[in-house]
């Protein structure tokens, strides 16, 4: 007998038929004698629709109220699943984030889980109930409803699995596992049988939305084995685990892309001590996270400074920089929302040289201009024009030998 946490994503609970299929899967595991905690997302498209509704009223909806609204998506699916399970003759109970005592900080819209008091869930499991927890939501110290950021149900599931010391956390989704790149963009993408936490962390942070990055952080920290698999097929998916000696020794194991960032350039900035601080301090004070930064040197004590911010913060960041440019005497503030970041990732890069050169050459051969570059021990990212994203991903996937045979 095992304790299994299963999470089903939006497409997997997209209509009643699919919820019935999910119920059947749960029943199979439950009747085999296991304890089952299920975490659900909202039905596919619902969270987007709720956000749109709020934005029809105002560009900047009250963040607390937006979280109250968004949390309803998951409330719908957990209750429907439990009604379904009960109607099929199985004991089930739904818990919203606050009832499951998923405690978070107060950052509405991107709250972090601080702790989970799982006594109630444990009690319900001991009564042989199937427990369905609403993903993506928790409550802060004052009892306000919070949400965990897009894709946050993954994090709810892994955090619950860590707290309950579950034997496994299964993430059921609309693809068969973690692939070498997004299988919906590149038909040659290959399913990986295993991937290390570190590679998955990079992939998640660089755009592979198959797992939310915080879910991978939890999994790594608490050593939770995560199995990403299809809710429509029976085959095994991808195990996300500690790095192992026998892991495929390839240099590059995945290619990702993200269209979620925008670029801001300040031209002819005086090249003096303290200038970067005056540019980035107001950005930080506004809670905006800067990703890449580059500085070009010009003649005559002037430089150009370029950086990227999340697209959702672009307008605010531009307004802040226009003010900053006046005080520091920069010439112009230019912005571009039509960029993409493509990245190659692999732990094998630690011990291989020439990966960057190979990447740049492959992009050059397609006449794709590289706007910015950043590297870490196990990844290289290039910012390019958005319109070349698909081409760049396919070319890099091919050139690093990742295409399926």
Task: Let me know: does 236 contact 247? Beta carbons within 8 Å.
Answer: no
Helices (H) and strands (E) in the chain — how many of each?
Answer: 11, 20
Cβ count within 10 A of residue 166? 22
**205: contact with ligand ADP by CB under 6 A:** no
Work out whether 280 is an interface residue with ligand ASP (CB under 6 A). Answer: no
What is the Cα–Cα distance from 234 to 257, expressed in whole angstroms?
28
Query: Contact between 152 and ligand ADP (CB under 6 A)?
Result: no
Q: Is 151 in the site for Mg ion (CB under 5 A)?
A: yes
| 182 binds ligand ADP, rule: CB under 6 A | yes
# residues near ligand ASP by CB under 6 A: 13
Q: Which is nearer to Mg ion, 156 or 321 (CB)?
A: 156
Q: What is the enclosing helix (H) or strand (E) of 205?
A: helix 197-205
Among 66, 178, 342, 372, binds ligand ADP (CB under 6 A): 178
Q: Supply 147's token pair.
A: 């949400």
Q: List the structure tokens of 369.
A: 């201009």
What lies within 8 Å, CB to CB, of 319 at 6+ separation is none
How many Å apart are CA 271 and CA 300, to the nearest integer?
A: 9
Chosen residue from 152, 183, 237, 346 binding ligand ASP by CB under 6 A: 152
- Residue 11 or 181 with smaller CB distance to ligand ASP: 11
Q: Is 177 in the site for Mg ion (CB under 5 A)?
A: no
Q: Which of 208, 262, 355, 378 binds ligand ADP (CB under 6 A)?
A: 208
Please state the closest distance from residue 135 (CB atom) to ligand ASP, in A: 6
Tokens of 382: 């290039």
Q: Exposure pattern of 343-368 as b/e (b: 16+ CB <10 Å)?
A: bbbbbbbeeeeebeebbeebbeeeeb
User: Taking Cα atoms as reference points, which of 88, 153, 149, 160 lies closest to residue 118?
Assistant: 160
User: How many of the chain's residues bind Mg ion (CB under 5 A)?
Assistant: 2
Q: Which is nearer to ligand ASP, 211 or 283 (CB)?
A: 211
Burial of 234 (0-12, 13-18, 19+ CB in 10 A): exposed
Q: Which listed residue (38, 102, 158, 210) binds ligand ADP by CB under 6 A? A: 210
**Residue selected from 94, 104, 153, 306 as contacting ligand ASP according to rule CB under 6 A:** 153
Q: Which tokens sit at 405? A: 């045979």
Instruction: Please report, as residue ranges, which positions from 108 to 137 form the binding site for ligand ASP (by CB under 6 A).
Output: 135-136
Residues in contact with ligand ADP by the rule CB under 6 A: 9-12, 41, 151, 173-175, 178-179, 181-184, 208-210, 254
Residues that bind Mg ion (CB under 5 A): 9, 151
List residues binding ligand ASP (CB under 6 A). Answer: 9-10, 41-42, 47, 73, 135-136, 150-154
């Amino acid at each position: 007998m095992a304790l299994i946490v299963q999470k089903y994503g939006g497409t997997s609970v997209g209509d009643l038929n699919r919820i019935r299929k999910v119920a059947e899967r749960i029943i199979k595991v439950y009747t085999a004698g296991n304890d089952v905690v299920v975490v659900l997302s909202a039905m596919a498209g619902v969270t987007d629709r709720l956000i749109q509704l709020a934005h029809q009223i105002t560009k900047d909806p009250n963040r607390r109220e937006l979280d109250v609204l968004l949390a309803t998506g998951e409330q719908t699916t957990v209750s429907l699943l439990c009604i379904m399970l009960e109607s099929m003759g199985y004991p089930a109970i739904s818990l919203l984030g606050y009832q499951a005592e998923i405690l978070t900080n107060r950052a509405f819209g991107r709250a972090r889980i601080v702790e989970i008091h799982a006594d109630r869930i444990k009690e319900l499991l001991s009564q042989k109930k199937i427990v369905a927890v609403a993903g993506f939501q928790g409550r802060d110290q004052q009892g306000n409803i919070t949400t965990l950021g897009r894709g946050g149900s993954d994090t709810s599931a892994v955090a619950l699995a860590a707290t309950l010391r579950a034997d496994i956390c299964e993430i059921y989704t609309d693809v068969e596992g973690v692939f070498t790149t997004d299988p919906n963009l590149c038909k040659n993408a290959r399913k990986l049988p295993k991937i290390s936490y570190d590679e998955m962390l990079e992939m998640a942070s660089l755009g592979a939305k198959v797992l939310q990055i915080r879910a991978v952080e939890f999994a790594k920290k608490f050593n939770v084995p995560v199995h990403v698999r299809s809710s429509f097929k029976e085959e095994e998916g991808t195990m996300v685990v500690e790095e192992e000696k026998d892991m495929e020794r390839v240099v590059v194991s995945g290619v990702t892309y993200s269209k979620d960032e925008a670029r801001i350039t300040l031209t002819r900035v005086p090249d003096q001590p303290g200038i970067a601080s005056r540019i980035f301090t107001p950005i930080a004070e506004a809670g905006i996270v800067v990703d890449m930064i580059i500085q070009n040197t010009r003649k005559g004590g002037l430089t150009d400074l370029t950086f990227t911010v999340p697209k959702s913060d672009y307008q605010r960041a531009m307004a802040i920089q226009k003010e900053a440019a006046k005080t520091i005497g920069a010439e112009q503030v230019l912005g571009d929302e039509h960029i993409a970041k493509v990245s190659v990732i692999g732990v094998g890069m630690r011990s291989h040289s020439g990966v960057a050169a190979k990447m740049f050459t492959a992009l050059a051969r397609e006449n794709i201009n590289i706007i910015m570059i950043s590297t870490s021990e196990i990844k290289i990212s290039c910012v390019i024009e958005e319109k070349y994203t698909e081409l760049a991903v396919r070319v890099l996937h091919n050139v690093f030998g990742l295409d399926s045979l």
